[in-house]
């Protein structure tokens, strides 16, 4: 890696290391890259949500330091897409900002979350990707840069299709348009660092994961995800790979992996209630009790939204117009706050069954009682078992400061945990400890922390990874590839993890 080295980086949201390995023999371009990379697996952040993860990729910081993280609970009024308010946390702190300060020309296309664009040493094309939450827009820096296309041609596809099968061809067309625009900038502008982001694979996997052959899906669509991996291989990786020469390193990376969203639930608020740490206002399980009635309505509404995509589409449109409405849903809880010590928090306010979440402990406890309570909850969570076996279902649990350090650590619940992949976190209280997810049909695909991707390729040299990378290693690794080893500008949580293999 010298000061003359260039980096061409492809970011693909949700690209999964396990699927790449499984499909590699039918993905000639990915396979070519993988043959020169000692490993492709990278560990994402916690939680492995796209805004949180990409912010760590850009900045080289853990989420407690960049602050792009959002947990929701029944005590706080939440709003849809609140992470969009945190864009300022990464302005001027991304790897391309540091590269630019070392006189590297940067061409940055569609970086997730990074909208609107800001001044850099080069060109930045930013768009809104959450088209279900806000109006689509595209801006550039400098402002007079011609796109060579209609902005509508690169508008992301909805995450709430009323008929999911109707988004397959439009998604492929979108990807081709993104490639066309990216190649135009690649060829027409001087650059040392080129980055382009693709969002569509994540959406496809969310919608079609249950169609995979392993899960008994519709035979007609069981190859949808595989076909998109082939599509990316041919029309994204293949197209950009043609521009890699002896002075250029080609990097392909993702923010998280993908898997099946849990169908089975353990209701953590009910678990806390049985431990005497959470109290509910429900006194009677009938419609004469307002708290019971509210919970009944919420459950039925969620079920209808999950089973009827047209209703889900309408709900997403309503929340895009009134994002604060989510707060009404979250705070309309049956929990008796005056007599509750601890309660659940996750990244979706219970709308999705994540396998990862946290527990908040009420403020006002003495320091010694606070620590005693947290340790007690940690110990009890470790003992939760599958009701049909003796297998423990909590993969890990810890106090938040044992995971990260940083000025935004208070955005995390006091205790964080991860269940085994087949189990999700439920919010119900006052009923069974275990249950089934009612949101699984709407988004059967789920993010995985342990199977993000990092592939580095050079035409005549082979890279060795010093260890399995994490997202915070990406920024310092890119800067090192560009010959910037003395940062002097920033302290990263990660480090350069690539070395050339001396045998090649």
Give the closest residue to 81 by CA, choosing from 272, 349, 407.
Answer: 349
The answer to whether residues 266 and 254 belong to one domain is: no
Domain boundary, last residue among 442, 468, 489? 442
The answer to whether residues 457 and 396 belong to one domain is: no
The answer to whether residues 255 and 266 belong to one domain is: no
The reply to whether 165 falls in a domain is yes
The answer to whether residues 338 and 467 belong to one domain is: no
- CB burial readout 264-291, b (16+ within 10 A) else e: bbbbbbbbbbeeebbbbbbeeeeeebeb
Give the closest residue to 463 by CA, choosing from 472, 448, 473, 449.
Answer: 473
pLDDT of residue 83: 65
Q: State how far the Cα of 285 lies from the Cα of 334, in Å rounded to an integer.
A: 12
pLDDT of residue 485: 80
- The answer to whether residues 356 and 400 touch, using CB atoms and an 8 Å cutoff, is no
Report the CATH number at residue 373.
3.30.1360.110
How many Cα atoms occupy the beta-carbon half-sphere of 291 within 13 Å? 15
Range of the domain at 436: 262-283+333-442
The reply to whether 309 falls in a domain is no
The reply to whether 297 falls in a domain is no
Q: State how far the Cα of 360 lies from the Cα of 399, in Å rounded to an integer.
A: 11
The answer to whether residues 372 and 276 belong to one domain is: yes
Degrees to nearest 5, angle at CA 168 with 113 and 453: 50
The answer to whether residues 73 and 92 belong to one domain is: yes
The 3-state DSSP class for residue 490 equals: coil
Residues of the chain with pLDDT under 50: 284, 310-311, 315, 318-323, 325-329, 332
- CB burial readout 60-71, b (16+ within 10 A) else e: bbbbbbbbbbbb
The answer to whether residues 337 and 190 belong to one domain is: no
- The answer to whether residues 205 and 181 touch, using CB atoms and an 8 Å cutoff, is no
pLDDT of residue 305: 58
The answer to whether residues 202 and 269 belong to one domain is: no
Domain boundary, last residue among 403, 418, 442? 442
> Each residue of 421-451: pLDDT tens digit?
999 999 888 789 999 887 777 778 999 999 9
The reply to whether 398 falls in a domain is yes
Residues in the chain: 504
DSSP letter for 44, please.
Answer: -
The reply to whether 223 falls in a domain is yes
Report the CATH number at residue 153.
3.40.720.10
The answer to whether residues 19 and 156 belong to one domain is: yes
The answer to whether residues 244 and 354 belong to one domain is: no
The reply to whether 70 falls in a domain is yes
The number of domains in the chain is 2
Q: Residue 79: count other Cβ atoms within 10 Å of its Cβ.
A: 18
The reply to whether 306 falls in a domain is no
The answer to whether residues 197 and 337 belong to one domain is: no
Check the CA dihedral 223-224-225-229 and report its sign: positive
The answer to whether residues 246 and 234 belong to one domain is: yes
Give the closest residue to 65 by CA, choosing from 416, 408, 330, 400.
Answer: 408
Listed in sequence order, the residues at least 6 apart from 59 whose beta carbon sits closer than 8 Å to its beta carbon are 65, 66, 90, 93, 94, 95, 475
Give the closest residue to 454 by CA, choosing from 432, 425, 434, 477.
Answer: 477
The reply to whether 235 falls in a domain is yes
Q: What is the largest CA-CA distance in the chain?
A: 76
Domain boundary, last residue among 401, 418, 442? 442
pLDDT of residue 395: 97
Q: State how far the Cα of 256 lies from the Cα of 49, in Å rounded to an integer.
A: 8
pLDDT of residue 253: 99
């Amino acid at each position: 890696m010298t000061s003359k080295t260039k980096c061409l980086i492809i970011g693909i949201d949700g690209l999964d290391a396990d699927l790449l390995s499984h499909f590699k023999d039918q993905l000639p371009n990915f396979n070519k890259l993988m043959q020169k990379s000692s490993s492709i697996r990278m560990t994402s952040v916690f939680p492995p949500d796209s805004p949180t993860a990409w912010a760590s990729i850009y900045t080289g910081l853990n989420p407690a330091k960049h602050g792009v993280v959002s947990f929701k609970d029944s005590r706080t009024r939440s709003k849809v897409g609140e992470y969009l308010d945190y864009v300022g946390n990464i302005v001027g702190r991304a790897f391309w900002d540091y590269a630019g300060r070392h006189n590297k020309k940067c061409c940055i296309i569609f970086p997730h979350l990074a909208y609107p664009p800001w001044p850099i040493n080069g060109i930045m094309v930013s768009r809104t990707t959450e088209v279900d939450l806000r109006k689509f827009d595209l801006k550039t820096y400098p402002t007079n840069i011609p796109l060579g296309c209609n902005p509508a041609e690169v508008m992301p596809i909805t995450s709430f299709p009323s008929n999911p099968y109707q988004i397959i061809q439009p998604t492929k067309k979108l990807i081709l348009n993104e490639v066309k625009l990216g190649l135009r900038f690649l060829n027409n502008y001087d650059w040392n660092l080129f980055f382009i982001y693709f969002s569509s694979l994540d959406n496809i996997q969310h919608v079609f994961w249950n169609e995979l052959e392993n899960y008994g899906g519709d035979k007609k669509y069981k190859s949808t995800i595989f076909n998109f991996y082939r599509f990316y291989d041919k029309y994204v990786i293949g197209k950009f790979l043609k521009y890699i020469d002896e002075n250029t390193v080609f990097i392909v990376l993702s923010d998280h992996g993908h898997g099946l969203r849990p169908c089975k639930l353990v209701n953590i608020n009910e678990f806390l209630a049985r431990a005497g740490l959470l109290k509910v206002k429900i006194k009677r399980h009938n419609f004469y009790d307002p708290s019971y009635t509210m919970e009944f309505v919420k459950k039925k509404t969620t079920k209808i939204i999950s089973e009827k995509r047209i209703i889900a589409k309408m709900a997403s449109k309503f929340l895009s117009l009134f994002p604060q409405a989510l707060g009404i849903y979250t705070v309309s809880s049956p929990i008796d706050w005056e007599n509750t010590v601890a309660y659940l928090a996750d990244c979706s306010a219970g709308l999705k069954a994540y396998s990862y979440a946290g527990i908040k402990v009420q403020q006002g406890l003495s320091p010694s009682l606070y620590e005693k309570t947290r340790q007690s909850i940690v110990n009890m969570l470790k003992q939760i078992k599958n009701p049909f076996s003796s297998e423990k279902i909590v993969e890990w649990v810890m106090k938040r400061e044992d995971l990260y350090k940083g000025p935004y650590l208070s955005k995390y619940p006091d205790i964080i945990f991860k269940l085994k992949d087949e189990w999700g976190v439920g919010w119900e209280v006052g009923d069974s400890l275990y249950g089934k997810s009612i949101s699984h049909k709407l988004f059967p695909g789920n993010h995985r922390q342990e199977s993000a991707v990092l592939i580095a390729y050079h035409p005549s040299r082979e890279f060795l990874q010093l260890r399995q990378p994490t997202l915070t290693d990406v920024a310092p690794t890119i800067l090192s590839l560009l010959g910037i080893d003395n940062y002097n500008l920033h302290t990263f949580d990660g480090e350069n993890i690539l070395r050339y293999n001396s045998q090649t």
